Structure 1
Amino acid sequence: MRHRLIVPGAAVLSLLLAIPASAASFRPGAPGVGDSYYPDSGNGGYHVSHYDLRLKYQPETDLLEGTATLLATTTQDLSRFNLDFGLKVSEIRVDGVKARFATSGKHELEVTPATPLEKGRQISVVVRYAGTPSQVKIDGYSGWARTPDGGVVAQEPDAAVWWYPSNDHPTDKATYDISVAVPDGTQALSNGVLLSETSKLGWTRYNWRSDKPQSTYLTTLAVGKFDITKDTTANGLPVINAVSKDLGANEGAAKASIARTAEIVQWEEGLFGRYPFNALGGYVPNVPAGYALETQTRPFYGKKVFDNGANVSVVVHELAHQWYGDSVSLKDWKDIWVHEGFARYAQWLWSEKEGEGTAQQLADYVYAQHPADDAFWKVKPGDPGAKNQFDIAVYDRGALAIQAFRNKVGDKVFFEILKAWPTENRYGNGSVADFVKFAEKKSGKKLADFFDTWLFQPAKPAAGAATGIAAAARKAPVAQPKSWKSIAATNEVHEAHGH
């Protein structure tokens, strides 16, 4: 016999009201933010406000075990969302409840919570995982480098996917607590302030905190045996510098260079305004790399950066990034000039300060060094393309454009803008177009055509007042400034890669 369920009219109404009217609006978050160069970077549907990473790393086996807790807010009604990650995951919980998960693409982790998440909801996501990062290849590449006594991760534009799940794009910055356990006698370095260091049962745990917004690629981890020096700046900020104990002949040059970190930051504050973070320093692991990276508060320097002796200029460059690149970050990876052009120009200003060649002399030299048919002028610093993102032209032509801009608006206005951009946009993001509008507003001049010539045209700008390079128009050979070799040796040849 069939039984019919008879529901009174009032009860039917209450059942209908219990069903969310917007149920049809729940949909998966996008698997990328739509970046021009790396469309799969980052994810849609939420923003992360804080990462809490509790890690354990064994240098002998390269085994990394971790539990990551992400605090986030949804920006749409979500049925599912993605994280960027490459290691093996054992469990995911959303607001304490187990969630289903699957992998897709090259580094996508698809998370389906037990119940859909409405827009504007604050959520916690806990991910348990383990793996050997150096064995994880994305496009045939690993961003995790093993060293004789540990491992290091410091890469651009990707780094996080090899050691913690994230929304991996500079437009989604967050604060961090990073806790790392390593065998006694080994150290673990990361960003920000070292809150504590404790030992138990043969393991030492280091607890680090970054309390200001930080891009995922600027988060670093280095495990090994270091010679660590600690100090405090005049205004109370902790300074931690670390150099691997097995750098060989490069040890002295590395120490001498990063020992000047606090001095350089104080000088750069005069150019860019108050230092934006809670700590400073730098580290040099035993990684045979010829590049450096502006990892927030504690830049990474490859061992080969010091092959020719002390290299203070590269320290100037990476610390300038703390304002231009870290505090104010690009909106899209095509906007790389707002990072690299200004960090390179900081090196030119340091040269000027040290009496080794003025910024104008360096600009004249770069302009004269490259004839009109040189491929150097084919790269557009304002949108160089993913393959040319770290081309020398982004640095040198990018800095030349800044000197031309200085000539165009005059020193007073120029240095006001140089300080105002990172001050007024602190902890945010900006594009090349944003900077052009900002410069126009601050200077009272129309600069769109000027910047278009310098940043977006694949040709050598003609000398003259209109382009700000009249001084570089002479055909006679231009003398090489004393600092040029050291500046040229600091090129950030990042081991960048696409997805």
Structure 2
Amino acid sequence: MDIRSRTALATALAGLLVLVGCTGGTVGASGSGSGGIDIGGVHGTPGAAGLRDPYFPKLGNGGYDVSHYALDLRYDPKRGRLDATAMITARATQDLSAFNLDLAGLTVDSASVDDAPAAVNRAGNELTLRPRDDIDKGEEFRTKVTYSGVPETITDPDGSQEGWLRTADGALALGQPAGSMAWFPGNHHPSDKAEYDITLTVPAGTQGVANGVRTSERTANGRTTTVWHVAEPMASYLATVGIGKYTTKVSATPSGLPVLTAADPTVAERSAKLLDRIPELIAWQEENFGPYPFSAAGAVVERTGDAGYALETQTRPVFPLDAFTPEILAHELAHQWFGNSVTPETWQDIWLSEGFAVYAEWLYAEDFEDVPARTSFEAAFESDANWAFPPAEPPSAENLFDPPVYQRGAMVIHKIRERVGDETFYEILAGWPATHRHGNASTADFTAYVEDVAGEDLDDVWDVWLYGNGKPAQPD
């Protein structure tokens, strides 16, 4: 997540992430009874309804690993209604008698597993499916869920919003940390990344924009259907959909990477100059971070107020106009390496994403504005807000996006640079995202990697800057 302050996130999510048991049921908003489905011999057990994340223990689901989502979304902006189908391809990691998907609101109209009807139960944001036959460990299976309704906008106590945000001419879907469950069922924890195909059908004259590469677009019978393909693994919180009357532009980086940008027409002229810099900035970041990790790039710029923050949605970050600056653009583009390709193993590791992204801002200031990174470090050091807690140990979920995670996280990165020297530091800067490309990594993975490349113990850096309580006397 980027460029927003969250002060009470855990409270907001408490009502969203409900851990429930698994029973058979009929489809519908709540579900009850067996629905007349013949359940075969049981030898498996239900998958867990949460992955025990240190901050969101009920987020995500156990017992399976998703490899692909095919989302077919049909949206009516006037009514705010979504009619959709999700086809989820997964592999069982245990013998499964039932499994859960995260889904907030919306009505489940039907569900099947491998083309056979599945019993359905709804409780809170847990959608429990019991297939006709148990699924063996290691077996690949396909789940189809047809659902509909008006997607929820999730409002946190600090006023920031995620999930499905309605705009003047359409909608915008943002998902960090749990908002993606407002518009499609899935395993909504960052540790379960998957490929995506997203099909958007909207009224003609309106466009549907999503992550990845646009593979087709057609208009018929007053509706426009656009298909987007995400070839590389993506955490669900990084999935996005933008629906509106966008001004779009297609270009390419010097290496030939396709770049597609979309801007609300009321802000298109004011955002055009900076949008045109995306190929240049990606080329600059490739010099520092190594090859760009995805098949497409770009951005979506909305009106101020359509979203309260910028977000690093994969391949196509989203910005409200008032957060669309060169520094924030550098920040969100850097996330494509740090956070999107190398995704936190748990939400406790989010400082790795945000610390590197803020450091990208400092590098931008250093390379484009002649402001040394040390100057940015010293400014961050002087802010008392950055010393409320260690970046690797936020006190609670509501603090995951507080200043220490961002600014003090960047201070950790700079202290590594000062300790090991620029040559080794830039080896780390490109080597870390290459080593864990398209995977997940933890803080322990990172500290071990840095020490291995540096060839020395850095406990003094970790003890003071990463895990230490309180502000050191001097920034040395």
TM-score band, normalised by shorter chain: 0.7 to 0.9
**Mind listing any 5+ residue stretches in structure 1 that lack a counterpart?**
1-22, 464-468, 471-499
Deviations 1:463-484 (A, max 9, x none): 3xxxxx43xxxxxxxxxxxxxx
SS of 1:133's partner is coil
**Where does 1:50-449 land on structure 2 (aligned, <5 Å)?**
50-86=68-104, 87-105=106-124, 107-134=125-152, 143-247=163-267, 251-286=268-303, 288=305, 289-306=307-324, 311-367=325-381, 369-370=382-383, 374-384=384-394, 385-449=396-460
State how far apart, in whole Å, the 2-side matches of 1:425 and 1:401 are: 20
**Residue 364 of structure 1, CA deviation:** 1.7
Q: Structure 2: which amino acid aligns with 1:365? A: A
Contact 1:148 1:286 in 2 (8 A): no
**Residue 393 of structure 1, CA deviation:** 1.9
**Residue 158 of structure 1, CA deviation:** 1.7
SS of 1:458's partner is coil
Q: Structure 2: which amino acid aligns with 1:264? A: L
**Residue 450 of structure 1, CA deviation:** 1.8
State how far apart, in whole Å, the 1-side matches of 2:248 and 2:434 are: 31
SS of 2:185's partner is coil
State how far apart, in whole Å, the 2-side matches of 1:320 and 1:137 are: 27
Contact 1:133 1:142 in 2 (8 A): no
Deviations 1:423-456 (A, max 9, x none): 0110011111110011111111111342132122
**Residue 401 of structure 1, CA deviation:** 1.6
Contact 1:63 1:132 in 2 (8 A): yes
State how far apart, in whole Å, the 2-side matches of 1:270 and 1:135 are: 39
State how far apart, in whole Å, the 2-side matches of 1:402 and 1:255 are: 32
**Residue 56 of structure 1, CA deviation:** 0.6
Contact 1:152 1:223 in 2 (8 A): yes
**Residue 25 of structure 1, CA deviation:** 5.1
Q: Partner of 2:18 in structure 1?
A: none
State how far apart, in whole Å, the 2-side matches of 1:135 and 1:387 are: 19
Contact 2:153 2:165 in 1 (8 A): no
Q: Structure 2: which amino acid aligns with 1:116? A: D
Contact 2:164 2:172 in 1 (8 A): yes
State how far apart, in whole Å, the 1-side matches of 2:195 and 2:162 are: 25
Inter-CA distance 136–359: structure 2 relative to 1 (3 Å threshold): closer
State how far apart, in whole Å, the 2-side matches of 1:347 and 1:280 are: 19
Deviations 1:81-136 (A, max 9, x none): 0001122101001000000011123x110000011111001100000000101467
Q: Structure 2: which amino acid aligns with 1:383? A: E
SS of 2:171's partner is strand
Contact 1:42 1:167 in 2 (8 A): yes
Contact 1:222 1:285 in 2 (8 A): no
Q: Partner of 1:497 in structure 2?
A: none
Deviations 1:168-218 (A, max 9, x none): 011110001101110000000000000011011100000000000000010
State how far apart, in whole Å, the 2-side matches of 1:151 and 1:69 are: 22
TM-score, length of structure 1 as denominator length:
0.83
**Residue 398 of structure 1, CA deviation:** 1.2
Deviations 1:240-262 (A, max 9, x none): 01110123xxx444222222111
Inter-CA distance 443–142: structure 2 relative to 1 (3 Å threshold): closer
State how far apart, in whole Å, the 1-side matches of 2:418 and 2:246 are: 45
- The structure with more radius of gyration: 1
Contact 1:258 1:312 in 2 (8 A): no
Alignment identity in percent?
42
**Residue 304 of structure 1, CA deviation:** 2.5
Inter-CA distance 435–70: structure 2 relative to 1 (3 Å threshold): same
Q: Partner of 2:6 in structure 1?
A: none
Contact 2:216 2:226 in 1 (8 A): yes
Matched, 1:42 2:65: no
Contact 1:184 1:204 in 2 (8 A): yes
SS of 1:408's partner is helix
State how far apart, in whole Å, the 2-side matches of 1:128 and 1:448 are: 52
**Residue 405 of structure 1, CA deviation:** 1.2
State how far apart, in whole Å, the 1-side matches of 2:139 and 2:182 are: 28
CA RMSD in angstroms, aligned pairs only: 1.7
Deviates more, 1:352-361 or 1:121-130: 352-361
Q: Structure 1: which amino acid aligns with 2:111? A: I
State how far apart, in whole Å, the 1-side matches of 2:407 and 2:252 are: 34
**Mind listing any 5+ residue stretches in structure 2 that lack a counterpart?**
1-40
Q: Structure 2: which amino acid aligns with 1:431? A: S
SS of 1:51's partner is strand
SS of 1:143's partner is strand
State how far apart, in whole Å, the 2-side matches of 1:287 and 1:50 are: 33
Q: Partner of 1:456 in structure 2?
A: 467
